[in-house]
Structure 1
């Protein structure tokens, strides 16, 4: 188990460029299975979850060539579909939740797809019903082995387009169903579809491959199935979750940081929500500049003067992946704020570690926490902690970088799942962080 040793209490300064988006990369990599032609992808982040998926694709006999940093070509012209029912795949696929998205393209192209019950972050129930109900509506049959914890869908006669209303705007569910539907017979209409930028990117990539998709960016997608798709070239967007992490880090450490090439048009409400905490963000071209908050930052109130609440919602609402960052950043704000995590019921349980560091947080229930900011009148205390998941892990790292003294974070493999070479990148802007084996 890896460990970070962090000497906190130092101001940072400099430029940092966000990696490619993890959540987009996992979708895009699965889409290479839709065609026998070569697909080239740029700006792929070098992180554990993405590298696991690339390994799975290689074991599936996808031809993979690394072209340079973050750039790969993939060709799925001679796949070993028997691998999907192997013990090796059951072991590898169960450790990566994103592996569920290989089912849609395989079902659409070959008429069958299998997946072990996937793992991922322990942030509450994350059901897969939306995925499989969509496949069933397209004409697939579903089977599940409880003993082997293994899912399968089959459509030996092909899929048929239909209308469906998704029970939730699941991002991975929408991605999976769309990847199956682009090769189905006829027209598929998906209402209550997810519409976040990374799903838009997936749809745009498939259109470049020859798919017919209307309504991209909305919650109503219309897909006219085609017989086959061709190859293409695609570049992954910068990671909005990492961008939000650096904003919170800059505020908590009173640092002057410029985040480079953030793709402002795809950030949605992220800048606006950080401004609700009183954080100053300056747009400089396609960069975000955060000045040193030497006088702190003050939580705003609503127009009627009522208590500020920050909550998550499906896109274009505020992403749930940043609520942990908002919570830790609020611990040094001037004022109070309620963080309301609506979409996952276990994501706030890491706050006990922040309370141990001296943060004033009242955990109301599994979904709501009230944060009373210190206004830098007292600092967080260094401590030893263990990272429970990716987003809580980066939040604890931000807390440690702002705290006086030396902190230790164990189980940093969770952070490495979502953040590329984070210790080296932070060291370049002045962070005192050391990786220990």
Structure 2
């Protein structure tokens, strides 16, 4: 287990380049299974979760070559389907939640797909019903072995269907789309997720020969084709990392430039941070954040009531940034209610912030009220353990703002989603050391 030692209370300065998007990578990498031809992907983040998926694809028989920093070629012309029934796969597959998205492509191309109950962040219930109900709608037979928590779907040939998803699940929509592109006939998916990473997947599939319309809306129409070809694809920058760096700049009163953020794909993110009082300037495709020497003030609603920041499916505010919002609010002028609707265990890290001196009332598993210090009282350095990716980064930001030396254990959780985070933070002046 590795640990970060952080000396906080220092201003940072400079520019930082966001990594490729983790959540896009998990979808795009699974899509290479849909074709025997070469697919080239650029801007792949070098993080634990993505590297686990690349390793899983390699064990499935995909030929993978690294051609540059963050750039790989994938050729799935000799997929080893026997690996799916091996004890090794049952162990490998359950260590990564993104592994669920290999099922749709394998089902579409080879007539069967299996997966052990996947892992991931312990942030509450994250059911898989949407995925499998979609496959069943396309004509697949579903089976589940309760003894070893092993899921399977099989079909001779999938057939297009109309379906109304019970939730706008991003990974569920991605999985069903990847299955439907090779199905016979037309598939219509209503209440589909429409966030930018899913749009990226659909655009990539269309370049491979798929016929998907309605991209960017909550109704997708997919005309099945017989086969797909190869393509080149470049992934978007990670919007969650961009939001993390905005929070870091505000909490440490630092002047930072976040490079090449793809502004048009950020949705509500800049506006939500502006409501928290943070100055965000657009300079081309960069975000410039001046040093907030006088702090920042949370806006109220027009009638004077307390601001609520809540998550929602795209184009709503992403749940992955609510923990960052919560940390930022601890030093703001004013108060905010953070409402985490989608996951019931994601706010449980606030006890660590309270130990650091933050004024937070955890109302219930989904809601927390934060009363800001306005930098009149800095957070106290302490020893913490990272519970998941996003909470881990939030605690890291809190530690960088706190005076004194803080320790964060279990930083493998942070490494799952952030590429070489300590090196990149040191490059802009952070005093952070990794201890193995």
Q: TM-score, normalization: structure 1? A: 1.00
Question: Shift in Å at residue 8 of structure 1?
Answer: 0.1
**Which residue number corresponds to residue 17 of structure 2?**
17
Question: Residues of 1 paired with 2:185 and 2:58: CA distance?
Answer: 32
Q: For residues 253-289 of structure 1, what are the alpha-carbon distances to aligned partners after superposition, in whole Å with 9 as ceiling and x for unaligned?
A: 0000000000000000000000010000000000000
Q: Does 1:8 align with 2:8?
A: yes
> Which residue is equivalent to 1:134?
134
Q: Distance in 1 between matches of 2:131 and 2:269?
A: 28
Q: How does 1:254-273 map to 2 (within 5 A)?
A: 254-273=253-272
- Find the aligned partners of 1:18 and 1:385 in 2 and give their Cα distance: 26
Residue matched to 1:306: 305
SS in 1 for 2:4: strand
3-state SS, counterpart of residue 434 of structure 1 = strand
Deviation at 1:230, TM superposition (A): 0.1
Partner of residue 362, structure 1 = 361
Cα deviation per residue 1:3-48 (whole Å; 9 max; x = unaligned)? 0000000000000000000000000000000000000000000000
CA shift at 1:305, angstroms? 1.2
Secondary structure in 1 matching 2:381: coil
Equivalent residues, number: 436
Give 5+ residue unaligned stretches, structure 1.
none
Alignment of 1:319-398 (within 5 A): 319-398=318-397
**2:285 maps to which residue?**
286
Runs (4 or more) in structure 1 with deviation over 6 Å come to: none
Distance 2:361 2:95 in 1: 33
Q: Indicate the residue corresponding to 1:42 in structure 2.
A: 42
SS in 2 for 1:398: helix
Distance in 1 between the 2:303 and 2:108 partners?
A: 52
Q: Structure 1 residue 69 and structure 2 residue 65: aligned?
A: no
3-state SS, counterpart of residue 78 of structure 1: coil
**Shift, 1:304, TM fit:** 1.4
Map 1:26-425 → 2, pairs under 5 A: 26-155=26-155, 157-425=156-424
Deviation per residue, 1:306-357 (Å, 9 max, x gap): 1110000000000000000000000000000000000000000000000000
Gap regions ≥5 residues in structure 2: none
Corresponding residue SS for 1:176: helix
Task: Give the 3-state SS of the residue equivalent to 1:377 in structure 2.
Answer: coil
1:89 and 1:267 map into 2 onto residues whose CA distance is 36
C-alpha distance in structure 2 between counterparts of 1:63 and 1:25, whole Å: 17
Question: Quick one: distance in 1 between partners of 2:89 and 2:291?
Answer: 48
